[in-house]
Amino acid sequence: MIEPTTSDAAPDQQQVPDSLQAHFQPHISADEIEQVYHLKRAQPLLQVFTALFHGGFDGVLVRLLVLRELAGDTSSPSFTRADINTRLGYLLPESLETVLMRLRSNQLLAWDAQQAVYRVTPMARNVLSAIDALLALGKEEDSSDMGFLLSQVAGAQVMGGVTVDQLNHLLGRLVELTEEFSDAIASGSEFRLRASQAKWHMACDWVEKGSEILRAITTDENADSATHKAAQAIGRAQSALLNMQGMFSRALNQIERQRVHLGQSGLSTTDIKRWLLEHEDLASLATDAIDQPVVPLFMTPAEMIDVAETELMADRVNTNVSNGLPSGEDAPTTVSDGPAMQQELDDWLARLSDFAALGNFPSIAEEAPKAIQAHESLLPASFAVASYRASLLPLLGDADEARLQGATAALARLPVKFSPQDEMVQLPDLEVAAISLASLTLSLNPEGDKSDE
């Protein structure tokens, strides 16, 4: 087998490239742009990516396949052409020859003429490592798309070479997520809110993992001022992202209060919309449900006479009816079976107000506690009533809600602080088996504890 000589070049390198200056304004020199300078310095590396990813997807796939097969073989640092033919025997010889020539001419494979062997270059291994890291993170469920950016910052921090550009990429993604979540909250769509809330929880997991990395960057004395500023900006963006928990809760509570239920069936408009979204073809629901618009009916003359006689006699009977007003009747008495949610809210508000005034809640004793467990204020009650009360707890201390009028605004103005936790507590209750652990703390400031705002 005759190997390619050093004078061989890739087909795309034989083409005359466009002038860089032709893409800029006539009075602007390309060399005056700072980013152009940095990109020109990285020209060898960029040419490697061009050699790999230039052309159609099928060609790119074959090049990456050949390079990954050779780089994955660690038994020997070099390969003869016979070894390559054996390892990649499933490829056509012509296609394999073209790929090897392209990889060799772009410094991805090195050809040792004295020993007649190929070797994978260090640059090729670096490129494959970066691609493999991105492919590995793509297999994981990361709807926030922060895993790869954070891994790059973490790796650079360990090696002591984190750059401002890497931090700016992470900062830009955090700003995009914050804007996306704000738009979802402003939309008022329950389905969009719940999808964004799930994405927000995943983003918070990445924020928690990246806090230690940012702390190490901000405390590093060798880092320059630009790196410190970028890390501090990321910290502020993370804080803004974490503070959106209350915004999601208020928006979902507002939707819950405005949800429309269909009679006494227990179904709501949300349930119907979710059921409709599960069907790809809504028109198929009308199949066998709608009859033909016109169904011809045929009658004999005898039947037509009978119908006409009946109609005629009915008109004569109606003419004999007195034109006087009908006698009065008592209106029927109806009893509403719906739950008195407003009365339930007023009763629970009075109960919390007693606790805020150190009165008879949760006990009549004068030494009533200033902090109680949340489930003591929710129970005893049925599961529906306890759930309704629990949904109102996040309104305690809500400044936006306190400015409004009504029972929920009075609830928000109570000097009681709601502190939820991530743990669950088991309860010896017939209606509620377990509930999230939380506490209600009485604020010493009669105007509300504003120290946490």
Q: Are residues 15 and 124 in the same domain?
A: yes
Task: List the beta bridge partners of residue 438.
Answer: 420
Answer with the one of 204, 235, 252 that is the final residue of a domain: 252
Q: Report yes or no on 138 lying in a domain.
A: no
Total structural domains within the chain: 3
Residue 294 has a pLDDT of 65
Q: Are residues 239 and 345 in the same domain?
A: no
Structural domain for 111, as ranges = 11-130
Residue 325 has a pLDDT of 67
> Do the beta carbons of residue 209 and residue 215 sit within 8 Å?
no
Residue 186 has a pLDDT of 86
Answer with the one of 252, 274, 302 that is the final residue of a domain: 252
Q: Are residues 87 and 153 in the same domain?
A: no
Q: Are residues 35 and 82 in the same domain?
A: yes
Residue 365 has a pLDDT of 43
Q: Are residues 116 and 223 in the same domain?
A: no
Cα 55 to chain centroid distance, Å, stands at: 34
Q: Are residues 99 and 154 in the same domain?
A: no
The rounded distance, in Å, linking the Cα atoms of 331 and 294 is 42
Q: Are residues 16 and 121 in the same domain?
A: yes
Q: Are residues 345 and 406 in the same domain?
A: yes
Q: Report yes or no on 453 lying in a domain.
A: no
Q: Are residues 88 and 164 in the same domain?
A: no
Spell out the per-residue pLDDT of the chain, length 453, in tens. 344 444 344 444 444 446 888 888 888 888 888 888 888 887 888 888 888 888 888 988 998 888 888 888 877 788 888 888 888 888 898 988 888 888 888 888 888 888 888 888 888 888 888 788 777 765 555 555 777 777 777 777 766 667 787 788 888 888 888 888 888 888 878 888 888 888 888 888 778 777 777 777 777 777 778 888 888 888 888 888 888 878 888 888 887 777 766 666 667 777 777 787 777 887 777 777 766 666 666 767 777 787 787 777 776 655 555 566 667 777 776 655 445 667 777 777 777 777 766 544 444 345 555 778 888 878 888 888 888 888 888 888 888 888 888 878 888 888 888 888 888 888 888 888 888 888 888 775 544 444 443
Q: What is the 3-state secondary structure (H, E, C) of 103-139?
A: HHHCCCEEEECCCCEEEECHHHHHHHHHHHHHHHHHH
Answer with the one of 108, 130, 152 that is the final residue of a domain: 130
User: DSSP letter at 120?
Assistant: E
Q: Report yes or no on 35 lying in a domain.
A: yes
Residue 162 has a pLDDT of 76
Residue 16 has a pLDDT of 44
Residue 320 has a pLDDT of 55
> Do the beta carbons of residue 418 and residue 394 sit within 8 Å?
yes
Spatial CA neighbour of 263 closest among 272, 254, 276: 272
Q: Report yes or no on 246 lying in a domain.
A: yes
Report residue 130 as tokens: 């970066």
Q: Report yes or no on 98 lying in a domain.
A: yes
Q: Are residues 82 and 110 in the same domain?
A: yes
The rounded distance, in Å, linking the Cα atoms of 411 and 253 is 14
Q: Report yes or no on 19 lying in a domain.
A: yes
H or E element, residue 45: helix 43-53
The rounded distance, in Å, linking the Cα atoms of 86 and 291 is 68
Q: Are residues 224 and 155 in the same domain?
A: yes
Q: Report yes or no on 6 lying in a domain.
A: no
Q: What are the angstrom distances between the C-alpha of 49 and each of 8, 106, 107, 133, 156?
A: 19, 9, 11, 16, 21
Report residue 156 as tokens: 């650079």
What is the residue type of 439?
S
Residue 384 has a pLDDT of 84
Q: Provide the CATH number for the domain around residue 58.
A: 1.10.10.10
Q: Report yes or no on 313 lying in a domain.
A: no
